[in-house]
């Protein structure tokens, strides 16, 4: 057996590696979001663009804590978590820009993207609907004797006022499902402040009512989020039943890129809740000398290059052809090698 001091050192080195990987995903998500916002304003992205600015620390922490065969139901503010769970920049850009080669084959808005067979669920609604879908998948795995997997769902403070949230949380508690529910208490549900949303002190109280283990965490602190989410996932994986984590933070953008968010109280922006988690993580990593300025600069250059090259590639790709489509509602999003992007469904394409 190795002496405790060596074990502690190895643990520290592993944590350091995870933190640096998480930080890179956060940076990638932020710069990707910025690119999508710019493309939207330039009229290159249709529909809406919804961003996760300020929520990257929380989002990446759940994405990176899950394993390959787990289930993840992300929301519109989860670019960082999606990337950490395995989404490629190429899939994200293809979906936003409507490429026929993307996972939804250019037929659906960007928020509904996912690869269900890989455990990444396309969002139905932002408002609680995905929790019971994750529960259902966890039940299915239990019936298939596939134990040891975890299902995570993201949710906003507004969604915790819906019946869907309460029914699903209760079901998960009664059935002791390995669910991790990640609540981003970002102070607004669209333009509705939390004071008009709930009267309990913390949203954590809602979990206690159902007998669900719950933790509060500072959503602006990457280190705290990683630790809290990592431990919650472990507890769920090892039979501890459903876990809820409530992270307090401030949404550092509008509801979508169309929303100027003038309703946000300036006092909140200047409060600790308004701290930018990406900047805070960067400062801490530099201060601890886990990252130096030149490594950071080259990381940033690499990320920008990857995004720019992917956008340039996708701009040359075809849009869906309405006459060649079979228009089945859901694409399984798995393009086989050499697939032209039109055969990904479980239904055969209709020949016109």
Ligand X SMILES: Cc1ncc(C[n+]2csc(CCOP(=O)(O)OP(=O)(O)O)c2C)c(N)n1
Binding site for ligand X (CB under 6 A): 77, 125-127, 156-159, 184, 186, 188-190, 251, 255
Cβ of residue 278: shortest distance to ligand X, in angstroms?
17
Cβ of residue 62: shortest distance to ligand X, in angstroms?
14
Tell me the CA distances in angstroms from 138 to 8, 125, 134, one per residue in order.
34, 19, 6
Cβ of residue 192: shortest distance to ligand X, in angstroms?
8
Q: Among residues 194 and 343, whose Cβ is nearest to ligand X?
A: 194
Q: Among residues 109 and 136, whose Cβ is nearest to ligand X?
A: 109
Q: Among residues 89 and 182, whose Cβ is nearest to ligand X?
A: 182
Q: Among residues 65 and 154, whose Cβ is nearest to ligand X?
A: 154
Question: Nearest to residue 180, comparing CAs of 146, 221, 143, 217?
Answer: 217
Backbone angles phi, psi at 122, to 5 degrees: -70, 135
Cβ of residue 206: shortest distance to ligand X, in angstroms?
13
CA atoms within 13 A on the CB side of 76: 24
Cβ of residue 312: shortest distance to ligand X, in angstroms?
31
Cβ of residue 140: shortest distance to ligand X, in angstroms?
24
Cβ of residue 165: shortest distance to ligand X, in angstroms?
9
Q: Among residues 100 and 249, whose Cβ is nearest to ligand X?
A: 249
Q: Among residues 31 and 252, whose Cβ is nearest to ligand X?
A: 252
Cβ of residue 223: shortest distance to ligand X, in angstroms?
23
Question: Nearest to residue 250, comparing CAs of 186, 339, 335, 165?
Answer: 186
Which residue is at the shortest CB distance from ligand X? 156
Token pair listed for 189: 């549900």
Instruction: Report d(CA 142, CA 133) in Å as an integer.
Output: 14
Cβ of residue 188: shortest distance to ligand X, in angstroms?
6
């Amino acid at each position: 057996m190795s002496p405790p001091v060596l074990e502690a050192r190895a643990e520290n080195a592993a944590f350091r590696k995870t933190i640096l990987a998480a930080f890179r995903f956060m940076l990638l998500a932020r710069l990707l979001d910025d690119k999508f916002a710019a493309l939207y304003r330039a009229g290159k992205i249709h529909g809406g663009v919804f961003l996760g600015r300020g929520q990257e620390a929380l989002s990446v922490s759940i994405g990176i804590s899950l394993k390959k065969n787990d289930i993840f139901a992300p929301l519109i503010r989860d670019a960082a978590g999606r990337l950490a769970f395995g989404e490629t920049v190429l899939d994200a850009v293809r979906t936003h820009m409507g490429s026929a080669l993307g996972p939804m084959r250019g037929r659906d808005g960007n928020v509904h993207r996912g690869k269900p067979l890989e455990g990444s669920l396309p969002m139905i609604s932002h408002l609680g609907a995905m929790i019971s879908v994750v529960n259902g998948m966890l039940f299915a795995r239990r019936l298939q004797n596939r134990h040891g997997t975890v299902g995570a769902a993201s949710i906003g403070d507004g969604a915790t006022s819906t019946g869907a949230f309460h029914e699903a949380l209760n079901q998960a508690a009664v059935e002791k499902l390995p669910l991790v529910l990640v609540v981003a208490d970002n102070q607004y549900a669209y333009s509705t402040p939390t004071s008009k949303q709930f009267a309990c002190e913390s949203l954590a109280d809602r979990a206690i009512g159902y007998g669900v283990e719950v933790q509060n965490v500072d959503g602006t602190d990457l280190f705290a989020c990683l630790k809290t989410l990592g431990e919650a996932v472990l507890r769920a994986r090892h039979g501890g039943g459903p876990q809820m984590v409530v992270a307090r933070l401030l949404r550092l953008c509008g509801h979508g890129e169309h929303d100027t968010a003038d309703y946000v109280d300036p006092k909140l922006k200047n409060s600790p809740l308004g701290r930018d988690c990406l900047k805070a993580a960067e400062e801490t990593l530099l201060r601890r000398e886990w990252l130096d300025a030149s490594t950071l600069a080259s990381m940033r250059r690499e990320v920008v290059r990857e995004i720019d090259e992917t956008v340039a590639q996708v701009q040359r790709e075809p849009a869906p052809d309405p006459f060649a489509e079979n228009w089945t509602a859901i694409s399984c999003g798995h393009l086989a090698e050499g697939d032209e992007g039109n055969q990904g469904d479980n239904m055969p394409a209709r020949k016109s």
